[in-house]
Amino acid sequence: MSRLLLSQGHAAAAALTGGFQWAFWVSGLTALAAVPLTFLLIRRTEIAGAVAAALQQKPPVPAPAE
């Protein structure tokens, strides 16, 4: 993107900023698309099983103080 802006006559700093802006938009949209995808891929039964297994474990015994 910054090469395109440079070829259009923009200053180097403005072209670099435009490239970073484009990259941030792409990253944000990717993260935004990942949220619903995560809820679709994780099965509720797997989550419930993991929570139940974690609750059944005994808490760790603290080390004796000396």
Q: Cβ of 15: how many Cβ atoms within 10 Å? A: 19
**Cα–Cα distance list, 4 to 10, 35, 64 (Å):** 9, 32, 66
Report d(CA 36, CA 49) in Å as an integer: 21
pLDDT in tens, 11-61: 777 777 888 888 999 999 999 999 988 888 877 778 888 888 888 877 677
Q: What is the pLDDT of residue 28?
A: 95
**pTM of whole model > 0.85?**
no
Greatest extent of the chain over all pairs of C-alpha atoms, in Å: 72
Domain chopping of the chain, boundaries: 2-56
